[in-house]
Amino acid sequence: MELRQHRRDLRKRAGRRSLIYANVLLRKDEEWFVREEPGHGSWKDGHEYWPVTRADLDPHYDRVERMMNVQKYPLDQAPYDKTLKTLAFRDAAQKLGLDWNLVNLAVTFANDGDPAMVGEPIKEARPNIHGRTRLTCKLTGECDLGCNHGSKNSLDYTYITAAWHAGADIRTRHEVRSFEPREGGGYTLDYVIHDEASEGTRTDTSRLDRHTVSCDRLILSAGTLGTTYLLLKNRAAFPAISRALGTRFGGNGDLLTFARHCTTDGPDGRKTPTSWTRRTRRSSRARSGCPTRWTPTAWRASAASTSRTPASPSSCPGCCSRRPRRRVRCCSCTASACARRSGARHPAHARRGARRRRI
C-alpha cells in the first residue's frame, strides 16, 4: 500500500504518461523508413522521405532497452506457461501458418541470471526514487494502468531515478504557465506551485503566486497534448512557430473517439457550430420534412403549456407519426427514448394512445 500511494502521488505531480503505457518496446520495421523521390511517391501528388534510417536509430534503441531493462515473457517457465490468452494467440498463429514471437517488455520477470519467479524482490543496483522494494511480475494484469508492485520498469524507476542520483532537482506539483526567450540567450519560465494541503478543495489557480526560473536550455517534455498546449499558449513569444502546430493529430490505431458540441471561430470572432454539425442537422430535418426539432425539453414545455390536452399533430407534420417505433429519429430524438427521458410523450404519440384507449 505504501508503494501504491507513493507512486500515485508521483503520477499526480510528475505526469501520468510517464507511468501509464503498455510497456511494449518495439523497433520500427525497416520497411517503414521509406525514401521516395518527388514525382515517384506511393500516393497521388505526394511522396515520403525519412531523413533517418533504421540503422541510424539502432544504437539509440539499444541504449533505451538497456535503461528499461527489457525482458521477454517467460512462457517456457511456470506459472507463466499457464496464461491462456498467450497460449491461444500462439496456437491461432500456428494454425494459420503465421509467424509469432514474444516481444520486448519493460517488465521485470526475473533478476539477472535467475529463473523467472512470481513476487521475488527485485535486486536494484541503486535505490529507486521511491525508496521502496519492488517485486517481479505477479501476473495481476495491471501493466497498462501501472503496476502497484513495481514490476513495470516505468520512467520513475529508470530515467527519473537516474537523474535523481545524478543530482537533478525534481520538483513535483510545479505547473509551468508561460515561458519566453531571455534577453542575451536562454529562457525564463513562470510557474505556480500546487500545495498538497489544498488538494480536494476548490482553488482558483489563476490567483496562485507565480515564480520565475531561468535556464540556458529548455526541453519541453509534457507529452503530446501537454507540450502542444504549452507551445500554443505561448505562441506570442515564438512567432516563428508553424501554423501547423496542433493539426494532423491522431490517437492510437485502436482508439475510437467521439467529439460533441464542436465549434469553430467565426468571422466575427464568435464560436459557431462546426460545418459537420450544421450539415447533419439540416440533412436530418430535410429527410423528415419537419421544421421543428423536438427534444425532451421542448416537449415538456409544450405539455406544460397545453395542460392535459395534447398538441395538434400539425405541429410536427408526419415525420413522427409514421411507424415511430421503427424509425431511428422522431425529428431529432427517438420517440420512445424521448418518453423515457422526459416522462412525457410526443404530442403525436399521445394523440395516438388516446385514440387506442377510446377504441
State the cell numbers at 244: 501547423
pLDDT at 286: 42
Structure-derived torsion over alpha carbons of residues 267, 271, 273, 275, reported in degrees to the nearest 10 = 30
Cell of 121: 524482490
How far CA 68 is from CA of 13, 64, 154, in Å, comes to: 22, 6, 8
Matching residue, cell 539502432: 58
Ranges under pLDDT 50 in the chain: 1-16, 276-345, 350-359
pLDDT of residue 184: 92
What per-residue confidence (pLDDT) applies to 119?
94
pLDDT recorded at residue 212: 96
Tens-place pLDDT, residues 25-74:
999 999 889 888 777 766 666 778 889 999 999 999 999 999 999 999 99
pLDDT at 116: 95
CB 113 within 8 A of CB 31: no
Q: What's the predicted TM-score (pTM) here?
A: 0.62
Q: Which residue has the cell 500456428?
A: 94
Bridge partner residues of 181 (DSSP): 187
Q: Cβ distance 316 to 348 under 8 Å?
A: yes
Cell of 8: 500515485
Give the start-to-end residue ranges of the domains of the chain: 1-25+70-170, 173-194+208-247, 292-358
Whole-number Cα distances in Å, 348 to 15, 54, 201, 317: 54, 66, 49, 9
Q: What is the pLDDT of residue 44?
A: 66
